[in-house]
Structure 1
């Protein structure tokens, strides 16, 4: 376990080496006082001090009130006016993801075919034949007929090449990769939009949606546990500096039960919820065999299905064609009958459903099929999650509210206004990527990154909203969506997400006051002191302990 990244400063050493519990059950172990503590609880948004015993908060309030609770064994930390928030709970990540041996970071965010080929050419010189080579390719090349398997073959005939669009919904393979995965044979008789072909019917090397993820899963099947452990270990310790204390991950390509077990066995510092996102249709026996897994801050729960793609690569399913591709409506990966089968599985297993829906057509399909399957009362306590929900507008808002659906927008997705205008045209553009309007309508929202992990960068996007400035929300609202609401989205609102009595002591002391600083400085924010369950897991040495 790579604990070397976490520096043990005197305060952390002192707290960890002292008795875990005070001698009296009535006194706190630790008191943090003299702070600007944002609780995420609408009953009392701001307070000054917090008392912790074991893994729970036992009191919050004014400095004088909380200090009356201390005993001779209580450790006291003067926050010196610093801002404290509940630990960030990122509700939408993908870790671990595909772990290819050689990955090239492109110098440009929009590399040309020549740029990509030059990188691959260097790779073929530096690594022996048979080594997998990979990098991202821009969306602009998805429709380029000159960008295909044979283009890559000219540069890397003996190295399998796996190129991925940054959205994760499209890949391009060369012939060596296609042969290594026996793709020609497996996809010979599959004739749908998820498999790219030349006019003569042969594979052009492009794979989309579930064909893409099936290949991801196949390639990842032999990944050593040590590689997976290293990835989740580095991730867990890396996010502590942001005050992230919980994550909800959708591995997509790895066996989720196996991943959950590996994380639990390594006893990592943050809380993990692992959600099933198997490319195949899950059946009840598969779900029940792993249901209820919970160990060492790790839980396995939920069933996610990807209904469409994204508008970036024009795979989001639209009711009317794309403005910049008039004969194209995007992808729908599941029809109404398959959705009803999924609803039956959830009903019989009690597992929460999560649907990746971006286009208005995919949202209509899911919400209206839910309505036809059962009445609103049935759905209200199921907390069905719509991941992204970018095209939710008009009468779909009321339907989503009626069904008790939780919407999980991703603020980094608000940062492509030029592309969205091209894809949708002005009229539809104004109805996509709503945020404030959804909150004002009374919908439950929660945040997940699904991109840059820095929560303060994502908060900046939420409070400025580059696509629709009128849809911007306040910093307070954004923090609540990242803490209290993300806990609600995983049925954990009675245990974490707020700094109040009885809750888990998951918190972050911040390097600056995010509630008053200029928005453009938000991404510079870090945690100087992070706690998970009353234990110090990250400490920069800024705070001093008193006794």
Structure 2
């Protein structure tokens, strides 16, 4: 069994080791979207790695220079495939040969099928009040603390009607009911991704850059030049920056203008808190050359002038990024949502809670056109301007959009991330730098956010990573005590990675919940420069705080569960698998405001569930990323079924 240190070592391996394993550098023209781990199962990705390794060095699968209509669901976090890629490929070397064999076996299993057609829709059952489906012969995790396991469930009208033995549930089934024998497989409540940023791409070229390989700008010059030569003037060119480029102050509009004077270029930071644009992009995005800073963000300036350098941070990038996202057509957005939903049902994800850079009216049009089988909650994610936060954004849109699409809640970003050194912390990031990050908003402004949520009777979500930003949040919350019951108002702290022990107790007293992203824990372990963060996880549960889980990166939920049960940064903070699944299901349902109706497989709850390809509660953790769903149900209707079920 691979221990925590070994897994952490795998995930922080150098790019030279990665080249040795999969030859990425020697075949840089393999298009990024075709091999992105965000879109693939662990076993499927390993198959591709094996295929890539066997290619001649001059082979090209797809000409990435041809502009395409990109529908990759996770382009804003496309660097996140590195987590899965590094995990799977590192395990496939000689020291972990047993893992490689197991994953290859899983890939060759009849349970692993090609992706279903995106236009396939579930056959919805009529509401009859009777038992219409029975799942028997399963190892079913209900999520209940006092009765966590059962053998069978009976479903009717989209709800769980009864749980118990296979014999008892069969007896409840009428003559027309479907009986699904899952052959002893593990069944869990549908996974609920409580924090993601799906934003469809507009038409353009994405450079095949792996940001976690941390390339320098010199390594990208040739790619940019080829993209410019191969496409008409005005074609968007995208890339995602690793940590080195994100923090390289020499990378600004000037070198980009030299290479691409007539092509708009946008370099997206892998954490999406710092972007870089060239002059053509500034013109397309409506950024004036002496644009004033918005509240909560800043435009970096060229030395000795007020002219923008093209480097934009925090809320300075929100409006331009929304403008960029708006360039995707409704049809492109619908296609992107369908692709995302297809991936979700194969993972057993039945609900997503999304904070998109696409303006809400447009994203909701995309969602209506997509008509996906999963449940989509869109959360207000407003920008700001020089005069302040734009509170009118999305106001007046009704909550219920369709049977499975909702719009509610508001999120604000209070600090950056450790990647660009912008999380607001109480002590310097390193001994040779005074940097302690920066808070985007003052304590009084956070108090205004809290008052606004009370007035609008709307859930508030506050992104806070560093302990200094979290201190400001807690100070603001505590000024409303004891008059306001924040637990009843479902107040969410997003991330909370830098929570101190003292702050954890105050979060409990304040009545807030925390939504964390376990794959982020890999950033905080080892010699990363981010080890100042505590990365609280199990401590939250021990204190009685409700915890939800979101991806905010790799879509694969079982990669997130791997990080949850091992916690590479703080092994003593690791959760049990049972508690991690509870956080990813009922915890996320509570974060959505629906903890009373979904997230458990008990009578009266919605019948959202996933039948898994392997027993995640008993296998060794390193096998988790190759898990997938073989049957997924939403509201009692089968939305994905493997041919073997």
TM-score of the superposed pair, with normalisation by structure 1: 0.91
Q: Which residue of 1 aligns with 2:443?
A: 336
2:632 alignment partner, one of 513, 530, 542: 530
- CA positional deviation for 1:157: 1.7
- Aligned residue runs from structure 1 range 276-287, under 5 A: 276-280=380-384
Q: Which residue of 1 aligns with 2:310?
A: 205
The secondary structure found in structure 1 opposite 2:259 is: coil
Q: Which residue of 1 aligns with 2:230?
A: 126
The secondary structure found in structure 1 opposite 2:420 is: coil
1:389 aligns with 2:496: yes
Q: Distance in 2 between matches of 1:36 and 1:189?
A: 56
The secondary structure found in structure 2 opposite 1:44 is: coil
- Aligned residue runs from structure 1 range 292-311, under 5 A: 292-311=399-418
Structure 1 residues without counterparts, runs of 5 or longer: none
Q: Which residue of 2 aligns with 1:463?
A: 565
The secondary structure found in structure 1 opposite 2:554 is: coil
Q: Which residue of 2 aligns with 1:353?
A: 460
1:215 alignment partner, one of 320, 336, 344: 320
- Residue range with higher mean Cα deviation, 33-42 or 191-200: 191-200
1:241 alignment partner, one of 334, 338, 346: 346
1:226 aligns with 2:331: yes
From the superposition, tell whether residues 189 and 396 of structure 1 become closer, same or farther in structure 2 (CA, over 3 Å): closer
1:274 alignment partner, one of 370, 378, 398: 378
- Residue range with higher mean Cα deviation, 334-343 or 57-66: 334-343
1:452 alignment partner, one of 532, 554, 565: 554
Q: Which residue of 1 aligns with 2:612?
A: 510
The secondary structure found in structure 2 opposite 1:296 is: coil
- Aligned residue runs from structure 1 range 35-184, under 5 A: 35-99=138-202, 101-106=204-209, 109-184=213-288
Q: Distance in 1 between matches of 2:249 and 2:383?
A: 27
Q: Distance in 1 between matches of 2:323 and 2:432?
A: 32
- Contact 2:631/2:638 (8 A) holds in 1: yes
- Write out per-residue CA displacement over residues 371-402 of structure 1, whole angstroms, 9 at most, x where no aligned residue: 11342653231121011001111221111101
- Write out per-residue CA displacement over residues 89-145 of structure 1, whole angstroms, 9 at most, x where no aligned residue: 000011125545211121562112112212111101111111110101111223323
Q: Which residue of 1 aligns with 2:4?
A: none
Q: Distance in 2 between matches of 1:16 and 1:148?
A: 52
- CA positional deviation for 1:307: 0.4
1:6 aligns with 2:110: no
Q: Distance in 1 between matches of 2:455 and 2:474?
A: 20
From the superposition, tell whether residues 232 and 192 of structure 1 become closer, same or farther in structure 2 (CA, over 3 Å): closer
- Contact 2:210/2:240 (8 A) holds in 1: no
- Contact 2:415/2:465 (8 A) holds in 1: yes
The secondary structure found in structure 1 opposite 2:143 is: coil
Q: Distance in 2 between matches of 1:29 and 1:188?
A: 60
Structure 2 residues without counterparts, runs of 5 or longer: 1-70, 72-113
Q: Distance in 1 between matches of 2:584 and 2:296?
A: 38
- CA positional deviation for 1:447: 0.2
Q: Distance in 2 between matches of 1:148 and 1:267?
A: 40
- Contact 1:323/1:422 (8 A) holds in 2: yes
2:529 alignment partner, one of 418, 422, 447: 422
Q: Distance in 2 between matches of 1:195 and 1:443?
A: 38
From the superposition, tell whether residues 282 and 58 of structure 1 become closer, same or farther in structure 2 (CA, over 3 Å): farther
Q: Distance in 2 between matches of 1:285 and 1:310?
A: 27
From the superposition, tell whether residues 88 and 379 of structure 1 become closer, same or farther in structure 2 (CA, over 3 Å): same
- Count of aligned pairs between the two proteins: 527
- Contact 2:383/2:390 (8 A) holds in 1: no
- CA positional deviation for 1:161: 0.9
- CA positional deviation for 1:56: 1.0
From the superposition, tell whether residues 76 and 191 of structure 1 become closer, same or farther in structure 2 (CA, over 3 Å): closer
TM-score of the superposed pair, with normalisation by structure 2: 0.77
- Contact 2:587/2:595 (8 A) holds in 1: yes
The secondary structure found in structure 2 opposite 1:278 is: coil
- Contact 2:247/2:420 (8 A) holds in 1: no
Q: Distance in 2 between matches of 1:246 and 1:434?
A: 25
1:440 aligns with 2:531: no
- CA positional deviation for 1:420: 6.7
- Write out per-residue CA displacement over residues 271-316 of structure 1, whole angstroms, 9 at most, x where no aligned residue: 0111000113667766651243342211111010000000111010
The secondary structure found in structure 2 opposite 1:483 is: helix
From the superposition, tell whether residues 97 and 365 of structure 1 become closer, same or farther in structure 2 (CA, over 3 Å): farther
- Contact 1:7/1:540 (8 A) holds in 2: no
Q: Which residue of 1 aligns with 2:126?
A: 20
1:260 aligns with 2:367: no
- Contact 1:312/1:419 (8 A) holds in 2: no
